[in-house]
Amino acid sequence: MPSKDEDAEFAKAYQDLIEAERHAATLENQLNSLEHKLDSFLAEHEGKHPESNNKTSVSENIGGALGARVNAPQDGDVERTPKDSQ
């Protein structure tokens, strides 16, 4: 037969589990909302620029929509400035 301390410990663990489940559900809802907003944003962006093809990456789409170009080095390439090449 479990002692009162074990019962209290089990009850605390159960309450912690319930709280963690609530927190996980909240995070999942927030992620779903963010995903929906991103999908809407990308759909709106693609509608404004029909000349873009489907081969562009998400970062290029977002960077273009923000008015900034996203330049990430590809395959280990490093962009060098004149100072770097000396």
Sequence ranges of the domains in the chain? 15-50+59-66
- Rounded to an integer, what distance in angstroms lies between the CA atom of residue 26 and that of residue 32? 10
Give just the sign of the alpha carbon dihedral 29, 30, 35, 38: positive
Question: pLDDT tens, 15-59?
Answer: 999 999 999 999 999 999 999 999 999 998 887 755 555 555 555
Highest mean pLDDT among 13-17, 45-49, 64-68, 82-86: 13-17
Q: How many CB atoms lie within 10 A of CB 64?
A: 16
| Amino acid in the structure at residue 32 | N
Q: Can you tell me whether residue 83 is helix, strand or coil?
A: coil
